[in-house]
C-alpha cells in the first residue's frame, strides 16, 4: 500500500511568486532611476521650466529610449500588481478573467498613448 503525503490540490498562480516579486523590484528600481535622471536634468537646467525645456529634455534619442523602456517597465509593473490583486480578491473566475482582460486593454491603450506622446516631442 502506497502512502501519499502532502496535498493533491493544484494551486493556481503559485508559480508566479519569485519571478514576479523580482520583476516588481527591478521595474521599480528602473522607474526610480528614470525619476532621478529626469530630476537631475531639471535641477541643472537654468531658467524657468516650460514646454520648450520639457520638449528639449525628451528630444534626445537616448532619453526617448530610456523613457520607452521605463514605460514598458511601468506597464509590466502595473500588470503584475493588478493581476495579483485580481487573483487575491476576486474569487469568481469569470469576473476575474473579465477584469484581467479589461486591465490588459487599458494598459495597451495607455502604452499606445504614451508612445504617441513620446515620439511626438
Distances from the Cα of 99 to the Cαs of 74, 77, 82, 116, in angstroms?
19, 17, 9, 26
Ligand-binding annotation for 89, yes or no, is yes
Ligand-binding annotation for 16, yes or no, is no
CA distance 42 to 4: 63
Residue 67 has a CB neighbour count (10 Å cut-off) of 22
DSSP state of 15: G
| Known binding positions for heme | 77
What residues are designated binding site?
77, 89
Q: Which residues does the annotation place in the binding site for a ubiquinone?
A: 89
Amino acid at each position: 500500500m502506497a502512502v501519499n503525503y502532502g496535498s493533491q490540490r493544484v494551486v493556481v498562480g503559485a508559480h508566479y511568486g519569485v519571478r514576479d516579486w523580482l520583476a516588481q523590484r527591478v521595474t521599480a528600481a528602473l522607474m526610480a532611476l528614470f525619476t532621478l535622471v529626469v530630476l537631475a536634468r531639471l535641477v541643472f537646467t537654468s531658467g524657468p521650466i516650460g514646454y520648450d525645456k520639457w520638449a528639449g529634455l525628451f528630444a534626445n534619442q537616448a532619453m526617448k529610449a530610456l523613457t520607452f523602456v521605463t514605460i514598458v517597465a511601468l506597464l509590466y509593473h502595473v500588470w503584475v500588481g493588478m493581476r495579483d490583486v485580481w487573483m487575491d480578491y476576486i474569487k469568481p473566475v469569470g469576473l476575474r478573467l473579465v477584469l484581467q482582460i479589461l486591465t490588459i486593454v487599458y494598459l495597451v491603450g495607455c502604452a499606445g498613448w504614451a508612445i504617441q506622446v513620446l515620439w511626438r516631442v
